[in-house]
Amino acid sequence: MDFFDYRDGELYAEDVPVAAIAAEYGTPAYVYSRATLERHWRAFDAAFGGHPHLICYAVKANSNLAVLNLLARLGSGFDIVSVGELERVLRAGGDPAKVVFSGVGKREDELRLALEVGIRCFNVEVPQELDRLERLAEEMGVRAPVSLRVNPDVDARTHPYIATGLKENKFGIDVAEAPDLYRRIADSSHLEVEGIDCHIGSQLTHVEPFLDALDRVLELAEGLAAEGITLRHLDLGGGLGIRYHDENPPLPAEYVAALLERLGGRDWEILLEPGRAIAGNAGILVTRVEYLKRTPAKWFAIVDAAMNDLLRPALYDAWQEIVPVRPRDDIPVREYDIVGPVCETGDFLGRGRHLALGEGDLLAVRSAGAYGFTMSSNYNSRPRPPEILVDGGRLHLARRRETLEDLWRGEQVLP
Ligand code: LLP
């Protein structure tokens, strides 16, 4: 459930008319709802009841400092994949002791900073990363907490670009190789066994693949326990899907209940790394219709947002709902491709949408709170949109619109 609803014939973000936000900050603009973000985070947290757990929000989904800060205030942990994300978490007031560091290609400087600030653990997925970590930890006189990310080889049944838990993907360590690596960690005086993790993909709409992955992880954890190697937590990654269109993903409460049932009273601490399920439906992208263009083949609504602002439709052919901010009944509904000004045929936000549109009308692309702004770029030298956080009846400019000057900041011509 989210807090973007129609009242008196127009779309509101919490208690603020979206049209008023567009009037104040212009378009295109990302608009986030505080109440929605918090509700989604709490849904995961509350579902565990008294079972030991930590919700580590996946920063890559939406890394605005204001968003991270809200979650940090709730006591959230964070899943990061770069030193940039680590610094964001720290600046937003996140607790480094609740940070897990994922990713296949962690550089030495990234490992060093994470060791310095004392993160919860490194989700290691390349054996050589252990050598690097061990050397750095020794140099720094510390122990590096390690969780191995295993590849459970389960089919997440999602888009191939965002499926990560199959043998042919670059992610994770083969389950069969893991026990030896754990023995190596346990024997090292500069590494410490912390946990085990997996992440099988994103936008999953069924619980079964998660349960299959949990089974693999449990089997490994119990095998290790039998030889005296004790893990402190099981981290099942992120990946719970949301409704964009007609998907029916399990609710966080249903997903967590299924995990706890499968755990059957075993008291491992569970970590989850949800990104999309927290931020996705907590944001919209507001855009204005510039032109309605008729070609011999079809109608195009050319809007002021483009693939550089929201890449998902172009990259994954993702379907995101596009709704009018002020629905009209004074003009005919037509079928439109909603496209941006970028010079690419793939520059669309939606295709074949039935809408009653006039030039100048505002549209909202829904479910844009995750992998929206974070995947945006300056392609076609387009300044990126502002991010506005709505909090009840108040607006907070969480990131100002980029200026033209921002576009060439850091660039130099030859002397
Ligand atoms: N943990 C790890 C290790 C991950 O790689 C990811 C996402 C997550 C957690 C969070 O997954 P979520 O709960 O958000 O599904 N750009 C794509 C999604 C890529 C996801 C990458 N990894 C999209 O827009 O659909």
Three-class HEC string of 201-238: ECCECCCHHHHHHHHHHHHHHHHHHHCCCCCCEEECCC
Q: Which ligand 1 atom sits closest to the C-alpha of 239? A: 15
At a CB cut-off of 8 Å and minimum separation 6, what does 87 contact? none
- d(Cα 82, Cα 114) in Å, to the nearest integer? 10
Whether the model clears a pTM of 0.90, i.e. scores above it, the answer is: yes
DSSP label at residue 249: P
Q: Is 371 annotated as a binding residue?
A: yes
Backbone φ and ψ of 103, nearest 5°: 125, 145
Look up the CATH architecture of domain 4-32+280-407.
Beta Barrel (2.40)
Domain boundaries, the chain: 4-32+280-407, 34-277
Q: Is 149 in the pocket of ligand 1 (CB under 6 A)?
A: no
Structure-token match 């296949």, residue found: 104
β-strand pairing of 362-365 with 283-294: antiparallel
State which of 157, 236, 272, 276 you would mutate to test the pocket of ligand 1, scoring each by most atoms of that ligand within 8 A of its C-beta: 276
Give me the mean pLDDT over the 309-314 stretch: 98
Q: Is 232 annotated as a binding residue?
A: no
pLDDT band, very low/low/confident/very high, at 167 (cuts 50, 70, 90): confident
**Minimum mean pLDDT among 29-33, 132-136, 158-162, 234-238: which range?**
158-162
| Digit-coded pLDDT (tens) for 340-360 | 999 999 999 999 999 999 999
Q: Is 312 annotated as a binding residue?
A: yes
Q: What would the two tokens of residue 243 be? A: 């409704």
Question: CATH number of 34-277: 3.40.30.10, 3.40.50.10470, 3.20.20.10, 3.40.50.300?
Answer: 3.20.20.10
Q: What is the per-residue DSSP string for 90-123?
A: HHTT--GGGEEE--S---HHHHHHHHHHT-SEEE
- d(Cα 214, Cα 185) in Å, to the nearest integer? 22
Q: Is 134 annotated as a binding residue?
A: no
Q: How far is the CA of 278 from the centre of ligand 1 (A)?
A: 12
Q: Is 79 in the pocket of ligand 1 (CB under 6 A)?
A: yes
Query: CB neighbours (10 Å) of residue 381?
Result: 9
Average pLDDT, the chain: 97
Q: How far is the CA of 110 from the centre of ligand 1 (A)?
A: 20
| Digit-coded pLDDT (tens) for 10-62 | 999 999 999 999 999 999 999 999 999 999 999 999 999 999 999 999 999 99
State which of 37, 40, 54, 60 you would mutate to test the pocket of ligand 1, scoring each by most atoms of that ligand within 8 A of its C-beta: 60
| Digit-coded pLDDT (tens) for 260-294 | 999 999 999 999 999 999 999 999 999 999 999 99
Residue 110's identity, in one-letter code, is E
Kindly state the percentage of the chain with pLDDT values over 90. 95
| Digit-coded pLDDT (tens) for 223-254 | 999 999 999 999 999 999 999 999 999 999 99
Annotated catalytic residue 198: no
What local confidence, expressed as pLDDT, does residue 282 receive? 98
